[in-house]
């Protein structure tokens, strides 16, 4: 193959940094010669400057992994292997604290490939892509390049090897290092940015951004979710006051664990904060997750009714991931339903996902709720959620989560608060949502 | 007050005028600025009593009234506008928190023409303003 971008490269004007020789990216290839293993290896060396290693069995890979000083970045594999299959391999890989991303080359029917992808997701492994046999080497190489670009995109959060200690957590809280990152939400009918979701991050002294997956559970374990959530709330109130005082009507949502809402101290604090700022609480939406809402219905009704009594709006987050009783849903005074991102990812090619999202959208509409499709990243996903009749979208297609000053500037650069979706086509190769 | 709807020479204003009644200053300001983007002017007051004063003094094309206010609530204010001031033709829109849909009939029976759910965005006002004054 020649080292040129594919004809459908979504950003032909962008510099092709991906094609410059790069050291440090190590793919492993578990593909026999007759299925294109060596051809892919040659392309990686010639066009990517990678240092691939080739293997002929699952056991070879596992043995090499046990001895490796660094985990490979990527593993290209078939589904059926001479001494096992990709399912077993994925299970073994998942046992490692850091595992390579997986790229599947397959002759199998779609449902088997889909199950392989689902299994990776279930184990928390990253997917670099899939392709059918016979192997189209240039197309596979460009998929891998796109993955590598996503993996090193700006703002990608650095995984930490050790969990944060209680004293580190206290330090983050006491030095103002818990930060609200704002991700915009758009009304599909008007095209206006009508809100943001405040997502919790922390920035350590080295300036590295700590991901919520490394932060929220330790904060909960250390009994520090209350002060951390209050800090998020304060930053959100400040952000909204700046926008509204400038005549920009936007709301924002804050994720609040249900347990905190039953804490009177917490509720008093958030009410005090909106009152002292002079903010109408309807500009703030409290998001609780579906599993929390359904785990203890009586507690959920009591606490969510309290939130509504104070005038805040209420959203059910990650909808579709738990086992909701429809009757239960009607008893909790939600104003918004957010469809979990896993139903949106790849929706355009997945009939089952389209059906689930359309059903959620209809349910929300019938209950008088705003319905937000989360994690919309591509124009084709956008088209599918519009078709499903969702009222709002959130996701990388609009923007990644941004620090407050950046979000303020981003919002003010829009023409009349309207987001031009056409400009997003060039962003298709961005990193997936966090 | 966002702007004076009466010109210096006493001539009628070119733009339609809305009366915004809300005890929250941030809401009054942002609603006023949205109306301005739609080609309207507005007068903003913080209570039902002040709203009645304004309505006695001048003509408005539209009134936006928060239901939840400290002194006189929105429903009572609306009743007085219709009964005491006899302003049957003024379009009066209530705005309130989400979840009040069950109370819609009761609210409308106080004399409101429409109900908007807070928070109010530009598109909510665009349709409303166009209906009241098609030129905007």
Q: What is the pTM of this model?
A: 0.71
* β-pairing verdict for B41-45 and B91-96: unpaired
For chain B, give every domain's residue range: 17-132
Three-state DSSP state, A394: strand
- Cβ distance of B101 and A368 shorter than 8 Å: yes
Q: What angle do CA A422, A424, A429 make, to 5 degrees?
A: 140
Q: What is the mean pLDDT of residues B87-96?
A: 93
Residue A125: strand, helix, or coil? coil
Residue scoring higher pLDDT (A62 or A423): A62
Delimit the CATH 3.40.50.2300 region(s) of chain A.
17-151
| CATH fold label, A17-151 | Rossmann fold (3.40.50)
The SS3 assignment for B49 reads helix
Q: Give B-chain residues touching A247 at CB under 8 angstroms.
A: 29-30, 33-34
- Using a CB-CB cut-off of 8 Å, the residues of chain B touching A368 are 101
Q: And the tokens for A290?
A: 């579906």
Average pLDDT over residues A18-24: 43
Are the Cβ atoms of A333 and B34 closer than 8 angstroms? no
- CB contact under 8 Å between B34 and A194, yes or no, is no
Tell me if B16 sits within 8 A of B61, measured CB to CB. yes
Mean pLDDT of A55-69: 91
DSSP-based three-state secondary structure for B69: coil
* Residue-level pLDDT at A119: 84
In chain A, pLDDT over 70 holds for what percent of residues? 88
How far does the CA of residue B11 sit from the closest CA of chain A (Å)?
Answer: 29
Per-residue pLDDT at B4: 46
**Residue indicated by tokens 């209530």:** B94
Using alpha carbons, list the distances in angstroms from residue A360 to A46, A121, A295, A344, A355.
48, 22, 20, 12, 9
> A244 and B30: CB-CB below 8 Å?
yes
CA angle at A298 for the pair A297 and A303, rounded to the nearest 5°: 100
Please report the number of interchain residue pairs, chain A to chain B, with beta-carbon separation below 8 angstroms.
56
Q: In the prediction, which pLDDT does A9 show?
A: 41
What is the rounded distance in angstroms from the CA atom of residue B78 to the CA atom of residue B83? 9
Question: Cβ–Cβ of A308/B34 closer than 8 Å?
Answer: no
Q: What is the pLDDT of residues B15-66, one digit of tens each?
A: 999 999 999 999 999 999 999 999 999 999 999 999 999 999 999 999 999 9
Nearest to A249 among B25, B98, B122 (CB): B122
Q: Which candidate from B26, B33, B34 shows the least CB-CB separation from A280?
A: B26
In contact, A137 and A43? CB cutoff 8 Å: yes
Identify the DSSP state of A126: P
A251: left (phi over 0), alpha (psi -120 to 50) or beta: beta
Tell me, what's the pLDDT at A145?
87
**What order do you get walking across the sheet with B114-117 strand by strand?**
B41-45, B17-21, B62-66, B91-96, B114-117
Question: Which candidate, A64, A63, A108, A54, places its Cα nearest to that of A86?
Answer: A108
- Greatest alpha-carbon span in chain B: 47
Average pLDDT over residues A401-417: 94
pLDDT range class, residue A339, cuts 50, 70, 90: very high
Q: What is the CA radius of gyration of chain B?
A: 14
Q: Stretch B66-88: mean pLDDT, rounded?
A: 88
- Judged by phi (left if over 0) then psi (alpha if -120 to 50, else beta), residue A185 lies in beta
Beta-carbon contacts of residue A82 (< 8 Å; ≥ 6 apart): A56, A57, A58
Interface predicted TM-score (ipTM): 0.88
Per 3-state DSSP, what percentage of chain B is helix, strand, and coil (rounded to 5)? 40, 20, 45
Return the residue of B nearest to A186 by Cα.
B121
Closest CA relative to residue A42, chosen from A32, A55, A51, A34: A51
Top mean-pLDDT range of A76-80, A118-122, A395-399: A395-399
Residue A408: which region, alpha, beta or left (left: phi > 0; alpha: psi -120 to 50)? Answer: alpha
Per mean pLDDT, which range of A62-71, A223-232, B21-30 is the poorest?
A62-71
Residues of chain A contacting residue B97, judged by C-beta atoms under 8 Å apart? 282, 308, 311, 313
Is the domain spanning A166-427 CATH 3.20.20.450? The answer is yes
Tell me the mean pLDDT in the region A189-208: 93
Cα–Cα distances in angstroms (integers) from residue A290 to residues A105, A198, A322, A392, in the given order = 36, 18, 6, 18
Residues 68-127 of B with CB under 8 A from A: 68, 97-99, 101, 118-123
Helix (H) or strand (E) holding A54: strand A53-54
Long-range Cβ pairs for the range A109-115 (8 Å, 24+)? A112/A79, A113/A79, A114/A350, A115/A87
The predicted structure's pLDDT at residue A426: 39
* A337: Cα within 13 Å, side-chain hemisphere: 27
pLDDT attached to residue A18: 35
Q: Which residues of A touch B (CB under 8 A)?
A: 187, 189-190, 192, 194, 241, 244-245, 247-249, 251, 278-280, 282-283, 308, 311, 313, 333, 335, 368, 416-417
- The Cα–Cα gap between A287 and A199 comes to 11
Question: Under an 8 A CB cutoff, do A311 and B97 touch?
Answer: yes
CA distance B29 to chain A (A): 7
Q: String of b and e for A186-216 (b: at least 16 CB within 10 Å)? A: bbbeeebbbbbbbbbbbbbeeeebbbbebbb
pLDDT of residue A159: 52
Two tokens, residue A74: 């990527």
Tell me the CA distances in angstroms from B62 to A149, B40, B48, B52, B110, one per residue in order.
54, 10, 15, 14, 16
Position A15 scores a pLDDT of 35
CA–CA distance, A26 with A70 (Å, rounded to integer): 9
Burial of A427 (0-12, 13-18, 19+ CB in 10 A): middle
Residue A321 confidence class, pLDDT cut points 50, 70, 90: confident
- The shortest C-alpha distance from B120 to chain A (Å) reads 8
Residue of A308, A80, A284 whose CA lies nearest to B101? A308
The CATH architecture one would assign to domain B17-132 is: 3-Layer(aba) Sandwich (3.40)
Name the average pLDDT for chain B. Answer: 87
Average pLDDT of chain A?
85
**Using a CB-CB distance cutoff of 8 angstroms, which residues of chain B are in contact with residue A245?**
26, 29-30
In the block, residue with structure tokens 């929706």 = A347
pLDDT of A22 reads 39
Mean pLDDT of A367-372: 92
pLDDT, mean of residues A29-39? 88
Q: Which of A254-258, A390-394, B110-114 has the highest mean pLDDT?
A: A390-394
Tell me which of B37, B38, B97, B130 to substitute to probe the interface with A (most A C-beta atoms closer than 10 Å): B97
Average pLDDT for A46-52 = 87
């Amino acid at each position: 193959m020649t080292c040129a971008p594919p004809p459908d490269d979504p950003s032909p004007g962008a510099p092709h940094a991906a094609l410059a020789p790069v050291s440090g990216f190590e793919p492993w290839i578990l593909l026999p010669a007759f299925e294109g293993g060596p051809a892919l290896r040659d392309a990686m060396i010639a066009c990517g400057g990678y240092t691939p290693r080739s293997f002929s069995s699952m056991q070879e890979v596992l043995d090499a992994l046990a001895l490796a000083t660094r985990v490979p970045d990527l593993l290209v594999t078939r589904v059926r292997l001479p001494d096992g299959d990709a399912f077993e391999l994925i299970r073994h890989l998942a046992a490692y604290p850091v595992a390579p991303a997986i790229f599947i080359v397959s002759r199998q029917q779609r449902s088997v490939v889909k199950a392989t992808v689902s299994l990776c997701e279930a184990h928390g492994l990253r997917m670099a892509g899939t392709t059918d046999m016979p192997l189209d080497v240039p197309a596979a190489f460009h998929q891998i390049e796109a993955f590598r670009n996503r993996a090193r995109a700006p703002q990608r959060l650095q995984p930490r090897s050790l969990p944060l200690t209680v004293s580190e957590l206290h330090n983050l809280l006491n030095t103002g290092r818990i930060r609200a990152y704002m991700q915009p939400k758009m009304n599909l009918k008007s095209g206006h940015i009508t809100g943001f979701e405040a997502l919790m991050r922390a920035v350590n002294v080295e300036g590295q951004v700590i991901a919520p997956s490394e932060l929220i559970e330790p904060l909960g374990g250390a009994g520090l979710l209350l002060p951390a959530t209050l800090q998020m709330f304060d930053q959100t109130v400040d952000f909204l006051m700046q926008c509204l005082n400038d005549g920009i009507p936007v709301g924002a949502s804050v994720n609040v664990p249900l347990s905190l809402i039953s804490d009177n101290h917490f509720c008093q604090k958030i009410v005090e904060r909106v009152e002292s700022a002079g903010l109408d609480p309807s500009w703030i939406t409290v998001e609780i997750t579906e599993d929390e809402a359904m785990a203890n219905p009586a507690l959920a009704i009591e606490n969510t009714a309290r939130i509504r009594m104070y005038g805040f709006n209420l959203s059910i987050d990650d909808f579709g991931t738990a086992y909701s009783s429809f009757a239960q849903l009607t008893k909790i005074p939600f104003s918004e339903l957010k469809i979990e991102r896993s139903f949106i990812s790849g929706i355009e090619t997945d009939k089952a996902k389209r059906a689930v999202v359309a059903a959620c959208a209809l349910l929300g509409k019938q209950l008088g709720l705003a319905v937000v499709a989360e994690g919309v990243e591509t124009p084709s996903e956008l088209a599918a959620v519009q078709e499903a009749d969702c009222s709002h979208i959130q996701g990388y297609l609009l923007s990644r989560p941004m620090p407050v000053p950046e979000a303020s500037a981003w919002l003010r650069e829009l023409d009349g608060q309207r987001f031009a979706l056409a400009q997003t086509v060039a962003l298709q190769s961005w990193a997936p949502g966090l | 007050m966002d702007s004076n709807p009466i010109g210096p020479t006493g001539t009628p204003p070119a733009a339609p005028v809305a009366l915004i009644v809300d005890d929250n200053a941030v809401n009054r300001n942002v609603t006023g600025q949205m109306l301005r983007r739609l080609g309207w002017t507005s007068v903003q007051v913080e209570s039902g009593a002040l709203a009645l004063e304004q309505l006695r003094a001048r003509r408005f094309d539209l009134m936006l009234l928060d239901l939840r206010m400290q002194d006189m609530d929105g429903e009572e204010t609306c009743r007085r506008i219709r009964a005491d001031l006899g302003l049957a033709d003024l379009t009066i829109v209530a705005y309130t928190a989400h979840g009040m849909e069950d109370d819609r009939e009761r609210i409308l029976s106080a004399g409101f023409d429409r109900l908007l759910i807070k928070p109010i965005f530009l598109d909510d006002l665009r349709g409303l303003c166009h209906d009241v004054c098609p030129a905007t």
